[in-house]
């Protein structure tokens, strides 16, 4: 079990790392990367964010962790650019607490300023819950992000209670279909219908669609047929440290 004190030590000792998972477009070119937090505990080894983010949310420790992650992701993209590997777009996951803080936008602006990362290279992943909790405040924040040219994706799409219809008035750019639907795509008519429906409706609303958790060639081919825009999953590439990402990008033709 992960304890608050362990987490405090991890923050102080900077035991966190970011791994990056490539997202590929329909032409097989790199569309961007998703930054995924990792905790490298000295005794317990690697601990998944799924195991410590819920605790960090309740203690508020998510705030320094998130600020570190955002800063790191921006710095890492700048480092890729400086090495001539291109202006790579990075998606950072946001926690509800972070998004709802009154100084969220100010912190974000400050991070872009200090790292020098162009805002167009940053996108943020939010879950549906963030938007339904405090709808009015959330919509204002989304408009501010759009005016800054920061992209916004709805993560884990399809697992919440809301429908695509609520997206029509929100200034977002992308939906990411939850990997549970992709997982069953080729075994379940229901899941196949849901995936096709999401893609078709999202396109009518002018949104791009990412399929996450693409693990098999069969799933990939189906999604291509359904006109999905962007693909993420172990079939294409696993999350990897920055050095491995550099090699990955350098070997793309």
In contact, 181 and 156? CB cutoff 8 Å = no
- Which of Mn ion, Na ion, ligand G, none does residue 95 bind (CB under 5 to 8 Å by kind)? ligand G
Contacts of 140 (CB under 8 A, 6+ apart): none
**Chain position carrying tokens 């993209």:** 77
**Residue from 155, 178, 191, 229 binding Mn ion (CB under 5 A):** 155
Q: Does 233 bind ligand G (CB under 6 A)?
A: yes
Query: Residues 27-66: x/- map of binding to ligand G (CB under 6 A)?
Result: ---------xx----------xxx--x------------x
Q: Does 178 bind Mn ion (CB under 5 A)?
A: no
Query: 107-111: long-range contacts (C-beta < 8 A, 24 or more apart)?
Result: 107/67, 107/70, 108/70, 108/148, 108/150, 109/148, 111/67, 111/70, 111/71, 111/74
Q: Does 156 bind Na ion (CB under 5 A)?
A: yes
Between the CA of residue 81 and those of 17, 30, 77, 117, 180, what are the distances in Å? 20, 14, 6, 10, 34
Q: Does 155 bind Na ion (CB under 5 A)?
A: yes
Query: Residues 156-195: x/- map of binding to ligand G (CB under 6 A)?
Result: x----------------------x----------------
Query: Residues 65-104: x/- map of binding to ligand G (CB under 6 A)?
Result: -x--x-----------------------xxx---------
Residue facing ligand G at closest CB distance: 233
CA proximity to 233, closest of 253, 212, 249 = 212
Q: Does 229 bind Na ion (CB under 5 A)?
A: no
Question: Could you give the CA distance from residue 220 to residue 49 in angstroms, rounded to a whole number?
Answer: 27
Residues in contact with Mn ion by CB under 5 A are 93, 125, 155
């Amino acid at each position: 079990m992960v304890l608050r004190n362990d987490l405090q030590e991890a923050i102080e000792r900077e035991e966190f790392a970011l791994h990056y998972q490539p997202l590929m477009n329909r032409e097989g070119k790199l569309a961007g990367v998703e930054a995924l937090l990792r905790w490298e505990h000295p005794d317990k080894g690697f601990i998944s964010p799924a195991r410590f983010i819920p605790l960090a949310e309740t203690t508020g420790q998510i705030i320094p962790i998130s600020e570190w992650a955002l800063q790191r992701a921006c710095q890492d993209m700048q480092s890729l650019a400086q090495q001539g590997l291109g202006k790579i777009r990075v998606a950072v996951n946001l926690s509800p607490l972070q998004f709802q803080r009154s100084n969220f936008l100010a912190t974000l602006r400050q991070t872009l300023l200090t790292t020098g990362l162009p805002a167009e290279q940053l996108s943020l992943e939010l879950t549906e819950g963030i938007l339904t909790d405090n709808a009015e405040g959330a919509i204002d924040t989304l408009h501010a992000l759009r005016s800054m040219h920061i992209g916004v994706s709805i993560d884990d799409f399809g697992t919440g209670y809301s429908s695509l219809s609520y997206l029509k008035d929100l200034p977002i750019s992308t939906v990411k279909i939850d990997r549970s639907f992709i997982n069953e795509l080729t075994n379940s008519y229901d899941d196949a219908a849901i995936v096709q429906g999401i893609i078709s409706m999202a396109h009518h609303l002018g949104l791009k669609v990412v399929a996450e958790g693409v693990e098999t060639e069969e799933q990939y081919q189906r999604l291509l047929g359904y006109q999905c825009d962007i693909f993420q999953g172990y079939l294409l590439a696993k999350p990897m440290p920055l050095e491995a990402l550099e090699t990955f990008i350098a070997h793309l033709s």
